[in-house]
Amino acid sequence: MNATLKNIDHSALQVSQIAIVVLNVLAFILNLPWLAGIVAVVMVLGTLLGVPGFGFIYRYGLKQLGWMRAHVLLDNPEPHRFAQGFGSVFMLAGTAALYLGAPGLGWALVWLVAALAALNAFAGFCVGCFVYYWLARLRVPGFTKNPPEDTFPGMRPTTSPAPGRK
Amino acid sequence: MHDVIVFRFLWAAAIIAAGIILFNLANRWILSRAGRQPVLAGLARAGIPTLLYFTTPTCAPCKTIQRPAIDRLKELAGDRLQVVEIDAASQPEIARQWGVLSVPTTFILDAQGHPRHVNHGVTPVDKLLKEFEEFGDFSI
């Protein structure tokens, strides 16, 4: 068992990803570049604070109301932070492109982030985490974690923490 | 203004539909790739539909949700289907051949051993039954 794994609530990650998908699609349909900008800023803040950007919707809303339960799994937080940071760079670039008069490129980047967030939320595959683990495999400095045991790099792990483990 | 929103909504719907189609095509590719693997020889009896269930000893949702669902399926269907369980941790080669990236993953095979459905993640008993019903009488 990898001793560095932490308890990660995947419900918070999933809600954040679904929020990104919904807001990005809404931004496109209603042609609201500022909404894409807000998504980008929230993702940047989440990356800096080490939490899922829209995880607050789960933590202070859905979980409190009892509409969702925690889904705690043993996982590495670093790849998720990297994935969110990676996504936020694309969102910032997309927003900048929208404001600089390149709507095709801007919306393409916004849709790319939405698609990758949807893949993570609904199919359990985190492309950013996959990239992180590949960089770790190539021994790129700063990328040190390996995927949890029995888990394909980037796929959602399946092991829950033992009772009482913090 | 209204027309523009409708137009963009249709674009969004088309992009989402394309994503879903792409996802389904990827699943079909996994099935066709799995269908070329002769790895079930000796593991499953011929002539009976099979549920091929990939799991690992450390998989929590396998134990708490998927295993009870499969036990219930066996209760309901009796001898009309067989379950072949494969530990993806101790037999990674088979898991790789079948394109299994996470557990639980379940494949539904018809009586001829051809993979017909793949389910990534926990799958409820109702869905498994529905998938079997497509090529046999599994009415309960």
CATH number (domain holding residue B59): 3.40.30.10
Asked if B101 and A152 come within 8 Å (Cβ–Cβ), the reply is yes
Cβ of A125 under 8 Å from any chain B Cβ?
Answer: yes
Burial class (CB in 10 A: 0-12, 13-18, 19+), B82: middle
Q: Does residue B88 register a pLDDT over 70?
A: yes
* Tokens linked to B126: 């109702």
Band the pLDDT of B26: cuts 50, 70, 90.
confident
Chain A's closest residue to B62, CA to CA, is A158
Q: Is residue B23 part of a domain?
A: yes
Cβ of B10 under 8 Å from any chain A Cβ?
Answer: no
Domain ranges of chain A: 6-137
> What's at A118, amino acid-wise?
A
Quote the pLDDT of residue B7: 93
CA distances from A152 to B14, B32, B96 (A): 31, 21, 10
Asked if A123 and B8 come within 8 Å (Cβ–Cβ), the reply is no
Burial class (CB in 10 A: 0-12, 13-18, 19+), A113: buried
Nearest neighbour of B60 by CB, restricted to A124, A155, A160: A160
Q: Residues 105-124, chain B: which have Cβ within 8 Å of A? A: 120-121
Asked if B58 and A155 come within 8 Å (Cβ–Cβ), the reply is no
Quote the pLDDT of residue B43: 72
Among B22, B86, B102, which would you mutate to test the A interface (most chain A Cβ atoms within 10 Å of its Cβ)? B102
* Tokens linked to B114: 């051809």
- A8 vs B44 pLDDT, higher one: A8
Q: Is residue B100 part of a domain?
A: yes
Q: pLDDT tens-digit profile of B89-100?
A: 888 888 888 888
Cβ of A155 under 8 Å from any chain B Cβ?
Answer: yes
Question: What is the domain extent for residue B124?
Answer: 2-133
CA distance A93 to chain B (A): 20
Q: Is residue B139 part of a domain?
A: no
Q: Is residue B138 part of a domain?
A: no
Beta-sheet strands, E only, within chain B: 50-55, 82-87, 105-109, 115-120
A-chain residues near B62 (CB < 8 A): 158
B-chain residues near A124 (CB < 8 A): 102, 120-121
> What's at B115, amino acid-wise?
P
> What's at A147, amino acid-wise?
P
B-chain residues near A159 (CB < 8 A): 58-60
How big is the A-B interface in CB pairs under 8 Å? 51
Q: Which of A30-39, A73-82, B20-29, B66-75 has the lowest mean pLDDT?
A: B20-29
Quote the pLDDT of residue A3: 66
The pTM score is 0.80
- pLDDT digit string (tens) for chain A, length 166 residues: 566 889 999 999 999 999 999 999 999 999 999 999 999 999 999 999 999 999 999 999 999 999 998 888 889 999 999 999 999 999 999 999 999 999 999 999 999 999 999 999 988 899 999 999 999 999 999 999 999 877 789 988 877 776 655 5
> What's at A55, amino acid-wise?
G
Report the 10 Å Cβ neighbour count for B113: 17
Q: Does residue B38 register a pLDDT over 70?
A: no
Beta-carbon contacts of A165 under 8 Å, excluding residues fewer than 6 positions away, are A7
